[in-house]
Every structure is written in structure tokens, then in C-alpha cells.
A and B are shown apart, each in its own frame.
Chain A
């Protein structure tokens, strides 16, 4: 579990990016941090792996204060996926995926074998192993980004708008495969997005942030849609009209999804 305890980030110019945040991100689940730009969701995410240090407050992972760990060591144990994948252009796909294992000093053969397994796992053709990132489409690059984050099997993953830069059809398939992967791996995931549809679709829990770094509501998707906090949250969800649409989509999506899971489970038996 990741826990924010009274965490504030204030910049020297006085801007408050995150204001007294108290939030628990339960283990083995996806918690989505959602809100408009400037709401502090990305800042909060980056404080978890110490890319940004809070001005005050404490962040713990499994009850251990993250400030007690060396930042590089901490980061090698936390998967990180970002919007434009951020792949290393000068490294082949397989070496991109094996980045953290290399950093951890794994044997090269073992690192590459792991990378190959992950390529299969995220649905990449193994023929791409020796290619360079520029030879892949945006969606494929994003899969590599996910595989790279998973390579050393970290218990925690941070994902910052990982599917925002691809077209809607690719996004949908990436989201679905991500849910399938997560159902196998049960990572502790903090997932940032500005897209409420994505939040409702992916999150076990949703933390809605509002400008100024204030946590406006933290609930399961169903609770959020049933009882959105008055004011900002209701507005962010699109008012009565938006809520109706989100509730409708949720019902629509929950039906075939459950069927599909059932089929897979049946097939595995």
C-alpha cells in the first residue's frame, strides 16, 4: 500500500501543487488519479518515486518511508510508464525492455530472456526484438513502455497518462489488455489521467483532484457515479448529462467484459 500522509508540495514561487494530501493506494489494485491540468495529479505521482520531493508530509510504501531509500534504488523497484513511452531511441526494443534488469546487474542472457517473455505478454511480435523504437507505431511503442516498466517485476507501477497519445481505437485495445495483464499480475498501480471515462473504466478506486492540488473525492467508480460530491466533482463528471452517459457506459462495459473473463477462465480450466 502506498500512503500519502499530509503531503504538500509548494514551489519557491508560492504555487501550491499538492495541498495536504491524504490518500491510500491499496496494494494489488488500480487507483486512478484524475483531474484537470494543474490539479497536482502528476506531481503526486512523481512524489511516489521521488522525482519530486514533497515540501512536507510523509509518503510510505508498505509502511516504509520512501525518504529512507536511495532514490535510484527506490526507482528501480517501481515501474514507470509515461505518455510518449519515452523509449530510448538508441536501444533496440529488447534492450529497452531489459533496461532495469541491466541496471540491477542481471546477467545479460537472463535479462534478455525476461524481455522476450514480456514482449509476448504485452502482445508484441518477437520479430520486433531487434528493431529500434522509431520503427514501431505509437501503440506498439506504448506496449514496449509497459513491458519495460514490468521487466524487473516491481510490485508498484506508476503510469502517467500512458494511453493518451494514441488514437481512440488503439487506446481501447491497450486499456483492455492492460486490465487483462493486471488481472494476472495484481500490481499496486497509481494511474494518472485527465480522462474521466478512462478513470471509470480502469480504476478500482478513483481519486478526483481539483485545481490547487486538493483531493476532492476518493471513491470506487460506482460510488463516484452514484454519489458524486457536489460542486467541482459533479461538474468534472459532466453534470447530470455526463453522469448519465458514464453510468450507461459502465453498465454497457461491465456486461461483455464479465462474459469475456468467464470465457477465458472456462477455457483455462
Chain B
């Protein structure tokens, strides 16, 4: 990119006003691409984590596979799915981004589900059994609720990573707000680049805030415990 032309400001504010519709659409699309993977990730990670706690031998290989996905370059993983869902933005092609990001999220979510379930104190589990909880009821009413804070902590990390990774999708034509990088870069025009960066950071902060709030509301019993040590 060449240096700024004379008289061209870093951010041309009028451009933002002229493009609010486009910005809104891109922001919402970015959110969809980034957060559906977290939802899918949780849907997969919770049963998988339960199984890994139930059958200990399952955990090391599961974690190993999840970490391999995490270690792969995100672009390579996106390209792996192109033959199935195609490229471009919207419709079926979104899955070219969503599925790889789901796989990425697992490397954070599965260990957090496992740690969360293991954070249930032994006397609590014992007391539940001794009072006549069956295995399933104990899992649903005692172990999973106690795992919630740790699971949400994992979801926060995964969500922020996912929001930033979506932008890489621009290289295959579907990067949410990342589209604006290309747009600005190809035209030597800084405004879209800066605006998209700011919006991505804001999205990350807002998602994190929403998850923190959700955790406080869902687990009032855990909130003050931490501050009390």
C-alpha cells in the first residue's frame, strides 16, 4: 500500500455514514460466522467431555486430535472444506468457514468441559450418590451445573479467537468484516481497514461481556466465591 495521498485523512468519517447498511450486514454476518462455531462446538464438546471423564482413556487421544486441528493453519483448514461447500459469502458457502472454526473451538472447549466436570468436589459427588441420585440425574442436576463457570470461561476464549479468525476467511472470499481489508487495500483507502479492525475488536469485547454477564446470572453461587478467595 502506498502512503496516504495528500489531504486524505486516515479515517474519512463520511464514508462510514454512507455505508452503515453495508457495515451492519457485514457485522451481523461476521458474528454469525464466528459464533455459530462456538454453539456447534459446545454441542459437540459437552457430550465428548462427558465421555472423556467417564472413560479416562478417551481423553488423551481426543485432546490430541483437537490440538492437531488447532495447530493447522486456519487457511488450510478452510480450503479443506471448499470442495464440499464452495467459496463465497452466504448460504452453504458459510459452512466453509463455520465448520473449520467449530473444529478450532473444540481444542479449547473440550478441555474446559473436562476440567469443569472434574472440578466437582469429591464429597459433593459422593453426597449426591449417597442421597439417591442416579448417574444421569447426578450428571444433569449436579455435575454439569457445577461445571458451568469453567465451560463458560472456555467459551469466552474460543469466542474471541473465533471472532478474529473469521477475518482470515477473506482470502477465500468470506471473511465477514475482513472483506473491508481487501476493499481498502485494493483501493489504497485506509478508512474501511481501520473501521473493520475497530468493529472486530468491539465485537470481541461485546461478546466477552455478554458471556461474562451470562455466567454471573447463571451461576450466582460462583460469583462471590472467587472474590472471597
Rounded to whole angstroms, the CA-CA distance of A150 and B139 in the bound complex is: 24
**Known contacts A87-B124, A87-B127, A99-B131, then 9 further A-B pairs from the complex at CB < 8 Å, ordered by chain A residue:** A72-B133, A82-B127, A86-B123, A86-B126, A86-B127, A88-B127, A90-B221, A133-B221, A134-B224
Max count, chain B CB within 10 A of own CB: residue among A49, A73, A89, A135: A89
Kindly list chain A residues whose C-beta atoms are within 8 Å of the C-beta of B129: 51, 75
Interface string of B49-76 (1 = CB under 8 A from A): 0000000000000000000000000000
Kindly list chain B residues whose C-beta atoms are within 8 Å of the C-beta of A75: 129-132
A residues with a Cβ closer than 8 A to B are 49, 51, 72-76, 78, 80, 82-91, 99-100, 103, 132-135, 145, 148, 158
Rounded to whole angstroms, the CA-CA distance of A90 and B138 in the bound complex is: 13
Contact of B225 among A78, A134, A148 (CB under 8 A): A134
Kindly list chain A residues whose C-beta atoms are within 8 Å of the C-beta of B7: none
Rounded to whole angstroms, the CA-CA distance of A91 and B219 in the bound complex is: 10
Q: How far is the CB of A45 from chain B (nearest CB, A)?
A: 10
Kindly list chain A residues whose C-beta atoms are within 8 Å of the C-beta of B148: 90
Inter-chain contact A76/B124, CB cutoff 8 Å: no
- Some 25 contacts from A to B, beta carbons below 8 A apart, are A51-B129, A72-B132, A74-B132, A76-B131, A78-B130, A80-B127, A80-B130, A82-B130, A84-B123, A86-B121, A86-B126, A87-B127, A88-B124, A88-B142, A88-B146, A89-B222, A90-B142, A90-B145, A90-B146, A91-B221, A99-B131, A100-B132, A132-B225, A134-B221, A134-B228
Kindly list chain A residues whose C-beta atoms are within 8 Å of the C-beta of B146: 88-90
Q: How would you classify the secondary structure of chain B's contact residues: helix, strand, loop or mixed?
A: helix
B145's nearest neighbour on chain A, judged by CB, is A90
Q: Which 10 A-B pairs have the closest CB atoms?
A: A86-B127, A86-B123, A76-B132, A80-B130, A75-B132, A132-B221, A134-B225, A72-B132, A84-B123, A90-B145
Inter-chain contact B132/A135, CB cutoff 8 Å: no
B residues with a Cβ closer than 8 A to A are 121, 123-124, 126-134, 137, 142, 145-146, 148, 219-222, 224-225, 228
Rounded to whole angstroms, the CA-CA distance of A91 and B145 in the bound complex is: 10
Q: How far is the CB of A263 from chain B (nearest CB, A)?
A: 36
Kindly list chain A residues whose C-beta atoms are within 8 Å of the C-beta of B142: 88, 90
Q: How far is the CB of B227 from chain A (nearest CB, A)?
A: 11
Contact of A103 among B121, B127, B132, B224 (CB under 8 A): B132
Rounded to whole angstroms, the CA-CA distance of A91 and B142 in the bound complex is: 9
Max count, chain A CB within 10 A of own CB: residue among B128, B132, B228: B132
B142's nearest neighbour on chain A, judged by CB, is A88
Kindly list chain B residues whose C-beta atoms are within 8 Å of the C-beta of A133: 221
A145's nearest neighbour on chain B, judged by CB, is B127
Rounded to whole angstroms, the CA-CA distance of A91 and B220 in the bound complex is: 10
B220's nearest neighbour on chain A, judged by CB, is A132
Rounded to whole angstroms, the CA-CA distance of A73 and B121 in the bound complex is: 24
B128's nearest neighbour on chain A, judged by CB, is A88
Kindly list chain A residues whose C-beta atoms are within 8 Å of the C-beta of B130: 49, 51, 75, 78, 80, 82, 158
Q: How far is the CB of A147 from chain B (nearest CB, A)?
A: 13
Inter-chain contact B224/A135, CB cutoff 8 Å: yes
Max count, chain B CB within 10 A of own CB: residue among A49, A72, A148: A72
Inter-chain contact A89/B131, CB cutoff 8 Å: no
Kindly list chain B residues whose C-beta atoms are within 8 Å of the C-beta of A49: 130
A89's nearest neighbour on chain B, judged by CB, is B221
Rounded to whole angstroms, the CA-CA distance of A101 and B1 in the bound complex is: 71
Q: How far is the CB of B38 from chain A (nearest CB, A)?
A: 23
Inter-chain contact A80/B123, CB cutoff 8 Å: no
Rounded to whole angstroms, the CA-CA distance of A86 and B126 in the bound complex is: 8
Rounded to whole angstroms, the CA-CA distance of A158 and B130 in the bound complex is: 10
